[in-house]
Amino acid sequence: MYDKKSLKAEEFINHEEVLRTLDYAEKNKNNLELINEILEKARPTHVGRETFCKGLTHEEASVLLACEDKGILQKIYDLAQEIKESFYGQRIVIFAPLYLSNYCVNGCVYCPYHNQNHHIPRKKLTQEEVKAEVIALQDMGHKRLAIESGEDPVNNPIEYILECINTIYSIKHKNGAIRRVNVNIAATTVENYRKLKEAGIGTYILFQETYHKESYEKLHPTGPKHNYAYHTEAMDRAMEGGIDDVGLGVLFGLERYKYEFAALLMHAEHLEAVHGVGPHTISVPRVKKADDIDPNAFDNGIDDETFAKIVALTRIAVPYTGIIISTRETQTVREKLLQLGVSQVSGASRTSVGGYTEEERPVETEQFDVSDQRTLDEVVRWLMERGHIPSFCTACYREGRTGDRFMSLCKTGQIQNCCQPNALITLKEFLMDYASEETKKIGEEFIKKELDKIQGVNEAVYKALTNNLKEIENGKRDFRF
Ligand code: SAM
């Protein structure tokens, strides 16, 4: 039976409830009166300088997803953009993945690290190698990482992951520093989540891959990841272990997207109902070509239009949750999705173990083919040229504004007063320390324009920010609001 407050996977992601939702959505996909009511409910309301959004239930959002009316689709896109601008402004947070180890005991059929792949070289970074990778990442200008690892209790036990986190935080090279380490490792125990929290991680990210239990079990035929309930209930254990920023995700292409979308929102509703805080981020990866993986072998691939609609509806349904788009996607696709609600992008990613210290992008241990292969400098410039503020900010997490504290900041629209200036501060650091001459020139003009927008609207922020930017020019670093 469906119960969003249950701690049992099959009750909070209840198969019958997903099917009922899809049936309801199909029956109402041309009910324009209902559809317009749903869109109206999702619209932001402004009270003084504060902005509020109600979001949508999985049922409401599924009706919008089922609707094929072109006019409604445009309304969905417009609303997604309006919500994005209300809560996130033009900021886009930038991060990079760091692959620690591709040893893996699981049999995930879409991933080249599966344990039946006997020809892929297996590699695990030593602490010296972690250090070299981090220095290479710092030298590009990165401040936020997402560490990635296969699941292997012998080669990559939790102690190894903790040691790597420790090493990453300890490296201060020139003006560089990694200020936030997010972690994408396999589902684990409450005790291990507690250890990760104590090690100072940012978000714990775990993709569900698919919410459809029967497909899940076929796609993960062997290894600990085969256990659907253990995997699906991981976020509850993470929260029990004290991690209050968790990141959900579906690997699109494995199952029918309408099923995944409804279930993903049910997962978000479950976290909110049980823990009082929804997911910090949602990732939307699509299956990509990799070593022995052919994405065409999966029946449920989605085209770019459907993908854009999913992103826009995610923005509308969970307005306070960040949306992450990786370099699995091309520059063109990323460009479109930035308008529709994406708030975080990876840049200059290498998805191989030890890839950042190589001159050429190595492919032999890559987890997936990288579509957007531009440098970080190019990504930063591209964002600014399209009016986005590239942000390397990590302030909220370092100020203890995580979980519901971050959410309440976001919900009251206060994010504009902190995040906007913080984004400009970290952009200025990037320009001073890492940017090419051309990017620096564009960036300085860009910051000036943004400052002009703040002047007169918020004099206190303007003054403090102007001061901080001057101090950065004088060699100081790491200011934050
Ligand atoms: N081993 C951990 C786990 O089981 O969750 C860490 C995850 S793995 C390093 C990161 C993610 O990459 C996976 O959760 C999966 O969704 C995604 N992935 C795996 N193979 C992929 C492929 N061929 N194309 C795109 N994404 C892929």
149-194 pLDDT, tens digit each: 999 999 999 999 999 999 999 999 999 999 999 999 999 999 999 9
- How is residue 97 written in tokens? 């993945």
Ligand 1 contact via 187 beta carbon (within 6 Å)? no
**By three-state DSSP, how is residue 95 classified?**
strand
Mean pLDDT of 215-237: 98
Check residue 413 and give its pLDDT.
Answer: 62
Short-list 292, 378, 395, CA closest to 327: 378
Check residue 132 and give its pLDDT.
Answer: 98
Residue 49's pLDDT band, with cuts at 50, 70 and 90, is confident
Ligand 1 mean position, distance from CA 23 (Å): 30
Short-list 230, 235, 229, CA closest to 249: 235
Which of 151, 251, 254, 284 most suits a substitution to test ligand 1, by most atoms within 8 Å of the C-beta? Answer: 251
Q: Looking at the predicted structure, is the pLDDT value of residue 357 above 90?
A: yes
Measured by CA distance, the residue closest to atom 20 of ligand 1 is 111
Mean pLDDT of 426-451: 98
Check residue 403 and give its pLDDT.
Answer: 83
Measured from the Cβ of residue 192, the count of other Cβ atoms closer than 10 Å reads 19
Are the CB atoms for 446 and 384 separated by under 8 Å?
yes
Measured by CA distance, the residue closest to atom 21 of ligand 1 is 111
**Residue with more model confidence, 406 or 431:** 431
Q: pLDDT tens for residues 4-18? A: 999 999 999 999 999
Ligand 1 mean position, distance from CA 250 (Å): 10
Ligand 1 mean position, distance from CA 425 (Å): 33
Ligand 1 contact via 150 beta carbon (within 6 Å)? yes
> Which residue is it, tokens 């690892």?
149
Short-list 345, 379, 378, 349, CA closest to 366: 349
Short-list 180, 162, 66, 150, CA closest to 367: 150
Ligand 1 mean position, distance from CA 111 (Å): 6
- Over pLDDT 90: what percentage of the chain? 89
Ligand 1 mean position, distance from CA 251 (Å): 8
Q: Looking at the predicted structure, is the pLDDT value of residue 409 above 80?
A: no
**Residue with more model confidence, 434 or 87:** 434
Q: Looking at the predicted structure, is the pLDDT value of residue 65 above 70?
A: yes
Distance CA 131, CA 102 (A): 18
What is the rounded average pLDDT for all residues in the chain? 96
Contacts of 214 (CB under 8 A, 6+ apart): none
Check residue 411 and give its pLDDT.
Answer: 67
Distance CA 311, CA 340 (A): 7
Distance CA 103, CA 151 (A): 7
Ligand 1 contact via 220 beta carbon (within 6 Å)? no
Ligand 1 mean position, distance from CA 166 (Å): 23
This prediction's pTM: 0.97
Point out the least confidently predicted range of 42-51, 76-85, 171-180, 399-408: 399-408
Strands 180-184 and 50-52: unpaired
Measured by CA distance, the residue closest to atom 25 of ligand 1 is 287
